[in-house]
Structure formats: structure tokens, C-alpha cells
Amino acid sequence: MILPSIVYGLFLLSVIGIFWALESLQARLWLLLVASLIFYASLQVQYLLLMVALMLVTFFVGNAIAAPLDWRTPNSRWQIAEQGWNRRRAKLLWLGIGLNVALLLGFKYLEGLLRWLGWLPSSTTEAGLANTFTDIIMPLGLSFFCFECIAYLVDVYRGSPAALKFVDFGAYKFFFPKLISGPITRFHLFIDQVEQHQAPGLNGVVEGLWLIAYGAVKKLLIADHIAILVNLSFDNLERAGSADIWLATLAYGLQLYLDFSAYVDIARGSALLLGITLPQNFDAPYFTTSLADFWRRWHITLGDWLRNYLYFPLGGSRQGLGRTCLNLMIVMLIAGIWHGNNWGFLIWGALHGAGLVAHRLTQAWSKAKPEVKTFWATLPGTILGWGLTQGLVFFSWLFFRLPAPQQFTLALQRFWGTTADPQFAQKVYLESLGFRFTELLLLLGGVFGLMALSYLFKRGLKLELSWPLKLLLIPLFSLLAWLLAPAETLTYIYFDF
């Protein structure tokens, strides 16, 4: 049951119809929980019990952390009892965090560990067996599931109320639109909306349907077609020239953004039809002029999570410039490690960490030199800032797409001054795609131009499409996505993380 699909559409309509027909809050929560379990089972039933067990452990640990100090303790012993109670809460917090982190790292790094120990087949005759083993090793949505569990436990430890009922927490954790790839959502913001019983209204229904149709176009009509170019180019690196690798890297950056943001659009649209507003996850990140701003507008909920649950606990920017730079580098290296167990992800994190450190040092320099601050506010400074930021972002995507050392090493060797094999353009561009290099470059430029136009209208001119216009575009966008989608719909890139 993939977003979007006919099966998912029928499933969503059924859940919406039953949800709004029910009057009881508890009945609605049970419906969301059961429907979400069915949704997950349709994708990966073998890990359903594991995910339920992780949810239950987090629920009970959270309640234990929130348990009040016994009011019958005599005043003379209150201070001692309070110290013991706080130590117990801290131990429970670390227990809950440790279980989530251990499970996450175990699944992400188990393959590498088994290969290092020689317990996974590596010969060509046994490669099929190895692939079969590793293909089923990572539960879908585990990363986002664990991140939400950790955030919940920390929030409860910091004083937020714990979930009193199992069904409240279960409906939140398994809420099917966000279950696989986010956005990362906090428990209290979610449950408050469900308890309010507010129907979306006409504007909300139109906005929800619009987000689903818009996301379907981005995924099926654009991202999946760009993926064909990306996959063909990177699968034939030994024949590609420097210009071909540059083009494929640019294409991958667009594919990744459109693919991931499409999922979030469909998830947010689905939730809106149930009266729930999920947080926004992207805000035109490719038009930012600094890496810090990029991370405020790319995968916004992950950036907030890294900031609130890693960067601030490490000390944030409160302990001097040097410690701030170290904290930024540590956070981004951890972000790289989270994405996968290959060196490319670590390099990706290091590049972003170095970029954030450079931005922080530049900020400090600008405070000491007013003329530097003035330059960054000028048009040439803005263009330079945008070029440096997006240059680093798109270059780092190369390591994200080719995380294995033998892959990115070959790409880097051919990144400058390499001429393509004559058959590359013929086989990849003309025969497989039906376009020449320059035509593909123009098409990608057109996609970027449409994104720039949307950004100009939304942020520059403060213009939004009215709901009657969206209502007219919904069937058109849905039809285009249905008719012009590739023969084979690709899974979302972030399903791998």
C-alpha cells in the first residue's frame, strides 16, 4: 500500500468515512491505531510485532519517568527522596533512549558487522543469498519511529505530561500517513488535535486533496522520471564523462527533494482530511543563501530534532565559538551516521558540518567587520552566498547517492576533464531517454525554473493559489500523474533510511 496508489486511495477514503462517522474520541483513536497497523502490515508484516513492542516499551518507560514522587514521604526526608527520584528518572530516560538507539544502530549496522565477521556470504555464487538477507533486515520507518520515541521520552523527562492511555500513544506512533518517512511529529501536538474533534471544513478538504494531487505529480510525473536518468548515469559511471556526472548529480539533487517532499505532501494532505495538521518539512531549501538557513528549510523536522535533542544538550552556542563549531560538526557527523553504514554518508555529514562551521566563523567575522556584513546583504553577496551554499549541497549529494568508497572514488576520478565513452550518450540519453544532453539539461533547468517561480510567488509576492483554483487543478493533476507516470513506480528514497 504505497502513497500514492489506488489501493491507498480506497484505504484512506474508508478510514476518513469511518473516522468522521464515529462520535467517541476513544473510538476514533482505536480506529487510527487499527488502520495504521493494517497499513504497516501491508508493507512489512514481519516487523509489525517488533514495532508494537518498541511502542509499548516507550509508553511504559515514559509513564515511569512521569510518575510523581510519593506524597507520603516525610518532609525531613523529602530532599533525599527527591534526589533518588531524579536519579531513577534519569536512568529510565537513558534506558529508553538506549533501547531505541541500540535497535536503530543494530539494524543499520548489522549487515556491515556480519560482513566484517565473515558471517555473510560474499562470493559471487552466493551474492543472491546475501542480497536476500540484507533486503529484509531494515524495518520500514524505524528511524522516524525511534526519533519520535526518543523525543517523547526527553519531553516527558523535561516536564511534559506522559500519555495516560495506550491507545493515545499507539495512535500517535503508528499514525499511517507519517509512519514510514515522517514528518517527525511530537505527541502532544498530535493528540491535542485529535481531541479537538475539529472537522477540516471546505478549505481543509480542498487543501488536503490538493496536497495529495500535488505530491502525486511531483513523485510520479517528475521525480520518478528524473530517477531514470540518475540510475542510468550512475550505473554506467565507468563510461560517463565529467559533464555526465555533473548532470546526474544535479538531477539527483532535484529527484531527492521532489521525491521526499512529495511523500510529505501526500502525508500532510491525508492527515488534513482527518482534521490533523502535520508539520511542514520543506520550505524551498534550494533557494537559501547559507547552509544554516538550508537546514532550517530542508527536512525541517529532522533539523529541529537534531537541534533540540543533540545540539542544545551538547551545549549549543553557549560555550564559546570553538565549542559551537565542535558541536555543529558532531551533530552533522551523527546525522551522516544515521543515514547509513557507508563512508559516503559520513563524508556527507562532514561536508555539511564543515559548511556550518564556515558559516558560523563567517558570522563572527561579519560582527567584527561591518563591511563584510554589508557585502553579504548586497546582490553580489547574495548570489555568492547562494552559489557557495548550493554548490556544497549538490556536491555532497554525490556521496549520498554513491556512499560506497569504490563508487564515489570512481565518480571523483572522472569528475574533471574526463570525456565520455561515445556509446554513453547513445545508449543512456538517446536510446533510453530519447533526449540529448543539452535537452536534458534544459528540462532539468525547467524544473528548477518552476520551483523558482513558485518560490517567487509564495515568498516574494506573497501570493497563494485560491481554493477554487486548487479545486479545478486537483483532477487535472491527478489525471496527469496517472497517465504520465513511468511504467514502474519507484519506492521513495527515504524508505531506505
Q: Are 185 and 178 in contact (CB under 8 A)?
A: yes
DSSP-assigned states of every residue in 272-292: HTTT--PPP--S-GGG-SSHH
Cis preceding linkage at 183, omega within 30:
yes
Instruction: Give the cell for residue 348.
Output: 556527507
- Spell out the residues 6+ positions from residue 429 whose beta carbon is closer than 8 angstroms to its own: 435, 436, 437, 440
Instruction: Give the cell for residue 363.
Output: 558570522
In this structure, what are the phi and psi dihedrals at residue 434, rounded to the nearest 5 degrees? 80, 20
The Cα–Cα gap between 218 and 265 comes to: 9
The Cα–Cα gap between 448 and 425 comes to: 23
Q: Are 327 and 309 in contact (CB under 8 A)?
A: no
- Spell out the residues 6+ positions from residue 281 whose beta carbon is closer than 8 angstroms to its own: 182, 183, 260, 261, 264, 299, 300, 301
Residue that has been written with the C-alpha cell 500517535 in this structure:
172
Helix (H) or strand (E) holding 41: helix 25-44
Could you tell me which of 302, 261, 268, 257 has the C-alpha nearest to residue 401? 257
Cis preceding linkage at 4, omega within 30:
yes
The Cα–Cα gap between 345 and 396 comes to: 9
- Say which amino acid occupies 183: P
Instruction: Give the cell for residue 89.
Output: 528518572
Could you tell me which of 155, 226, 209, 169 has the C-alpha nearest to residue 443? 226
Helix (H) or strand (E) holding 371: helix 370-376
DSSP letter at 220? I
The Cα–Cα gap between 391 and 379 comes to: 18
Instruction: Give the cell for residue 386.
Output: 547562494
- Say which amino acid occupies 222: I
Count other C-beta atoms under 10 Å from residue 384's C-beta.
14
Instruction: Give the cell for residue 435.
Output: 533526449
Of 225, 299, 339, 359, the active-site residue reads 339
197 is catalytic: no
The residues assigned a catalytic role are 339
